[in-house]
């Protein structure tokens, strides 16, 4: 039986290397991968140097799960070295550190994909299904398709904003641009009464009293999201 039966029956992934310096996450990821790929040889490393040593010992991983932030790594150079050491392996970068530029740079350097570290086991399974098939996976918030990735990522990661329905999120984004209810209704092809009902519901969900307080909450969340980008950009310089 192929070790990737639960993902893609025709593919054969027989060896996986996990590189992460956080022991709890490392063990959790190993447990999840053992379920997804029950017959695979799974090895672990807590630094880039350890990962290279493991591979020097005749372990040839077909899939590598790689965290960017390691104790012996400075910037994106760690990924470059791993890519050079394992030219044929599929490398999935898993990191809490990200920006559109960083993710796109990793793909350009040969990564098979990127997934945020807070992804669920179900999400990870879907990502691996794509990579095992030979596809490249990039979350929609990190694609260069003209969308507003920082804004989208903020809504996805915020504990309260993420609870808004997709329609409520669209309305909230238009509120943040200063659009009145009538204009929002026009742009979304909704009745104005429907827009008002959505706004009442989203204000209640956000725990605020009015549109102004809602905008302040969203802008604060976006500012905190943006604060992570300088560190991501610093990785690109190394």
Residue identified by tokens 């053992």 is: 34
Q: Calculate ∠ Cα 135-86-72, nearest 5°.
A: 110
What does pLDDT average to over the chain? 81
CATH number for the domain spanning 57: value is 3.40.50.2300
- Determine the average pLDDT of the residues in 112-133: 88
Q: Does residue 177 sit in the same domain as residue 104? A: no
> Residue 3 pLDDT more than 60?
no
CATH number for the domain spanning 164: value is 1.10.10.10
| pLDDT interval class at 109 (50, 70, 90) | confident
| pLDDT interval class at 196 (50, 70, 90) | very high
Q: DSSP of 175-214, one letter per residue? A: HHTT--HHHHHHHHT--HHHHHHHHHHHHHHHT-SSHHHH
Q: Does residue 68 sit in the same domain as residue 94? A: yes
Which domain-ending residue is among 112, 145, 178? Answer: 145
Q: Which domain holds residue 101?
A: 15-145
In terms of pTM, does the model score above 0.85?
no
Q: Does residue 154 sit in the same domain as residue 117? A: no
Q: Does residue 93 sit in the same domain as residue 200? A: no
**pLDDT digits over 7-42, tens only?**
333 356 889 999 999 998 899 999 989 988 888 999
Closest CA to 231 of 92, 96, 93, 66: 96
Q: Does residue 24 sit in the same domain as residue 86? A: yes
Which domain-ending residue is among 115, 145, 175? Answer: 145
Question: Does residue 96 sit within a domain?
Answer: yes
DSSP-assigned beta bridge partners for residue 17: 43, 64
Per-residue pLDDT at 149: 45
Query: Which DSSP symbol is given to 215?
Result: H
Question: Does residue 234 sit within a domain?
Answer: no
Q: Does residue 106 sit in the same domain as residue 49? A: yes
Q: Does residue 96 sit in the same domain as residue 190? A: no
Q: Does residue 135 sit in the same domain as residue 45? A: yes
Q: Does residue 67 sit in the same domain as residue 172? A: no
Q: Does residue 195 sit in the same domain as residue 78? A: no
Number of domains within the chain: 2
Per-residue pLDDT at 62: 94
- Determine the average pLDDT of the residues in 160-166: 82
Per-residue pLDDT at 121: 83
Q: Does residue 28 sit in the same domain as residue 140? A: yes
Which domain-ending residue is among 107, 127, 145? Answer: 145
State the alpha helices, DSSP H only, in 37-120: 48-56, 77-85, 100-108
| pLDDT interval class at 198 (50, 70, 90) | very high
Per-residue pLDDT at 12: 66
**Between 24 and 99, whose confidence is greater?**
24
């Amino acid at each position: 039986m192929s070790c990737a039966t639960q993902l893609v029956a025709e593919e054969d992934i027989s060896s996986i290397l996990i590189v992460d310096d956080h022991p709890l996450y490392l063990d959790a990821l190993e447990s999840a991968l053992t379920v997804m790929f029950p017959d695979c040889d799974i090895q672990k490393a807590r630094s880039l140097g350890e990962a290279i040593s493991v591979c020097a010992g005749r372990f040839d991983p077909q899939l590598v799960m790689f965290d960017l932030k390691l104790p012996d790594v400075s910037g994106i150079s760690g990924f470059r070295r791993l890519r050079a050491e394992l030219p044929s392996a599929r490398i999935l970068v898993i990191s809490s550190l990200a920006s559109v530029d960083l993710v796109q740079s990793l793909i350009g350097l040969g990564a098979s994909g990127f997934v945020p570290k807070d992804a669920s086991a179900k999400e990870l399974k879907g990502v691996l299904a794509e990579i095992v098939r030979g596809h490249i996976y990039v979350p929609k918030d990190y694609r260069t398709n003209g969308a507003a990735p920082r804004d989208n990522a903020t809504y996805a990661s915020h504990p309260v904003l993420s609870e808004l329905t997709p329609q409520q999120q669209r309305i909230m984004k238009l509120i943040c641009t200063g659009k009145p209810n009538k204009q929002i209704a026009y742009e979304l092809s909704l009745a104005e009464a429907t827009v008002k009902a959505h706004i009442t519901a989203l204000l209640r969900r956000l725990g605020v009293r009015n549109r102004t307080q809602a905008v302040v909450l969203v802008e604060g969340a976006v500012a905190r999201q943006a604060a992570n980008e300088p560190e991501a950009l610093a990785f690109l310089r190394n």
